Amino acid sequence: MKDYRLAYYLNREASLSLARLDDLPVFSEKDNQLPEYPLYKYSDTHQRTHYYLIGNNHPITKMVPAYKQADYLLMLRGSFEEVRINTLTQSTRKINGVQLVFNIDLSKLKNLEGIMSDLELHLLGR
């Protein structure tokens, strides 16, 4: 599924308002390159929460190699109640074309700190 279609369906099914931003450059230590990945963002100012839909695929590498089967990552930032996460997971599973939805074990993400730094720098540069 194309990133814009997934964003559209997430907006519709999960009551989000993801908007397309410039592609996110993430440094790849393995390839010593700076591939770019599709990026969408929604901020709920009342709840002080942020949602980031990021593509995981690039022709030269995966942003998160530990999860090669994942085409997209939906990163949540802020304080989320378990009910909201479960609702979001169920809404995503209802989208036709989504084959698998799972929570990521953050301890398996070796490059999480680098991704978050690249994301913050990218958002500051806007």
Distance CA(125)–CA(118), nearest Å, equals 11
Q: pTM score > 0.85 for this model? A: yes
Listing DSSP states for 51-119 in one string gives EEEEE-EETTEESSGGGTT-SEEEEEES---HHHHHHHHHHHHTSTT--------GGG-TTHHHHHHHH
- Kindly report, residue by residue over 39-86, the tens digit of the pLDDT: 999 999 888 999 999 999 999 888 988 888 899 999 999 888 888 899
Percent of the chain with pLDDT over 90: 59
